[in-house]
């Protein structure tokens, strides 16, 4: 690993993220087992999604205002208490949909606050020249949790849902302990025109500073727009591939194989992201992803399982490369005092239209058919690729994005940075 501090952070999140993915599967299953109501399960999932969205901007502002390590520890302690509450309720027969909704919403809000704080801590504990490695290592961690958490959760559900939430709660407590050992100094509040403005009348301005920063950087905004459409396509292709490969649900095992291929593709892409970013320029990566998706998306509609698995694996392989480009641009170029708000703003924009994907795909499959659906979904990629190939200005703009190459990046001094880790650093 990069250094002691990053190893502690990475290990804490590998544990809690994997357990969190297990719990994300167990919660709707527990609702269905208890209430026999898919409507209740759907309402809870919707409420959790809305809570995540609403909490993003306030979470980013909070991460820029308070000590980030302490905020992360608070979030872990609170999430542990919520998970253990669910475990106890299930074990004693007191589990209800209302309890699931309240704990799910609170956990989502806490997780949304945790994420930008983690990004700010990484900025402080990892030297600038190794942040590309930190970003790609975290991408691998996330994809391992996504690929391994649900199957593990499904297996543990056979021993009872309380066990899953007990493990989830214990993982947060373990994460709390590891985070407490990280050496971190929170950066001082900026002075002058960048100083934070207090009071309710300035709250809206402070909340939206990250969004305004992103909109002033056209190359980053164009990349986020591209990522937003890829996220829409990712949700759409997941449904398209699952429907076609399982023959409209008659072979559910085939759908599971497709989802496993997606998880494996994400892991492989995360492992390869650092190597690729070091050797290819951003415009080349974006063009290659655009062209490959244009070819691969129609393959997911063939109904041929081998072709679908290969296509889905390759499609998802590309996502960590593009995600790392966005993360590095934010991590390297954003001011330290706006890191949380900028990271949450980019996340909001990147997922802003993703929810359209499954609904649009369902209507297209039911209407003109799966093959037509795949062509309609892929068509905008052809326009994107043509624009990139014919516009030298756009390629030059994309190539200004930071990729973590120290030769292209100015040096910076920040309190608590890992390059001084062996010196006398006080805990935050």
SS3 annotation, 74-132: HHHHHHHHHHHHHHHHHHHCCCCHHHHHHHHHHHHHHHHHHHHHHHHHHHHHCCHHHHH
Domains of the chain: 1-181 (1.20.1250.20), 204-404 (1.20.1250.20)
> Which DSSP string corresponds to 130-163?
GHHHHHHHHHHHHHHHHHHHHHHHHHHHTT-HHH
Instruction: Work out the burial of residue 306: count CB atoms within 10 Å of its CB; fewer than 13 is exposed, 13-18 middle, 19 or more buried.
Output: exposed
pLDDT band at 92 (very low <50, low <70, confident <90, very high): very high
For residue 5, which of 187, 178, 186 has the smallest C-alpha distance?
A: 178
pLDDT digits (tens, 9 = 90+) for 231-273: 888 878 877 776 666 554 445 445 556 767 777 888 888 888 8
User: Could you give the CA distance from residue 140 to residue 179 in angstroms, rounded to a whole number?
Assistant: 20
Average pLDDT over residues 110-121: 92
> How many residues in the chain?
428
| pLDDT, tens only, 2-47 | 889 999 999 999 999 989 888 887 888 888 888 877 778 878 888 8
Helices assigned H by DSSP within 246-369 = 252-279, 282-296, 305-333, 339-350, 356-366
pTM of the model: 0.77
Block residue for tokens 């516009």? 391
Whole-number Å distance between alpha carbons of 1 and 14 = 13
Angle between helices 97-125 and 38-65 (to 10 degrees): 30
- Alpha carbon distance 97, 225 (integer Å): 37
Percentage of residues in the chain with pLDDT exceeding 70?
A: 86
Is the distance from CB of 230 to CB of 266 less than 8 angstroms? no
């Amino acid at each position: 690993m990069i250094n002691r501090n990053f190893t502690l952070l990475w290990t804490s999140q590998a544990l809690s993220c994997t357990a969190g993915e297990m719990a994300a599967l167990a919660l709707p299953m527990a609702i269905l087992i208890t209430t026999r109501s898919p409507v209740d399960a759907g309402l809870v999932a919707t409420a959790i999604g809305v809570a995540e969205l609403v909490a993003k901007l306030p979470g980013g502002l909070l991460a820029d205002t308070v000590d980030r390590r302490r905020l992360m520890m608070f979030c872990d302690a609170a999430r542990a208490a919520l998970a253990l509450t669910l475990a106890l309720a299930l074990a004693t027969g007191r589990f209800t949909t209302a309890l699931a909704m309240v704990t799910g919403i609170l956990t989502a809000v806490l997780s949304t606050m945790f994420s930008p704080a983690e990004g700010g801590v990484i900025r402080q504990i990892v030297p600038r020249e190794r942040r590309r490695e930190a970003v790609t290592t975290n991408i691998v961690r996330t994809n391992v949790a996504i690929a391994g958490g649900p199957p593990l959760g499904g297996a543990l559900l056979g021993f009872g849902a309380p066990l899953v939430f007990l493990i989830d709660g214990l993982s947060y407590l373990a994460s709390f302990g590891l985070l407490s050992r990280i050496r971190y100094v929170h950066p001082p509040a900026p002075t002058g025109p960048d100083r934070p403005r207090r009071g309710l009348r300035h709250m809206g301005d402070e909340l939206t500073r990250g969004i305004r920063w992103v909109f002033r950087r056209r190359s980053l905004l164009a990349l986020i727009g591209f990522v937003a459409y890829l996220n829409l396509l990712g949700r759409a292709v997941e449904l398209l591939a699952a429907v076609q490969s399982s023959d409209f649900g008659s072979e559910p095992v085939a759908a599971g194989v497709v989802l496993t291929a997606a998880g494996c593709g994400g892991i492989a892409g995360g492992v390869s992201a650092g190597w690729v970013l070091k050797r290819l320029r951003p415009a080349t990566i974006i063009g290659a992803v655009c062209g490959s998706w244009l070819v691969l998306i129609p393959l997911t509609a063939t109904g041929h399982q081998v072709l679908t698995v290969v296509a889905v694996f390759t499609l998802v392989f590309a996502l960590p490369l593009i995600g790392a480009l966005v993360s590095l641009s934010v991590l390297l170029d954003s001011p330290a005092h706006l890191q949380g708000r900028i990271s949450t703003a980019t996340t909001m924009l990147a997922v802003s239209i993703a929810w359209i994907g499954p609904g649009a795909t369902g209507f297209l499959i039911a209407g003109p058919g799966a093959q037509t659906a795949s062509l309609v979904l892929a068509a905008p990629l052809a326009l994107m690729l043509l624009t990139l190939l014919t516009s030298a200005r756009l390629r030059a703009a994309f190539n200004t994005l930071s990729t973590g190459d120290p030769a292209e990046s100015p040096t910076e001094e920040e309190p608590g940075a890992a390059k001084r880790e062996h010196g006398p650093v006080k805990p935050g």
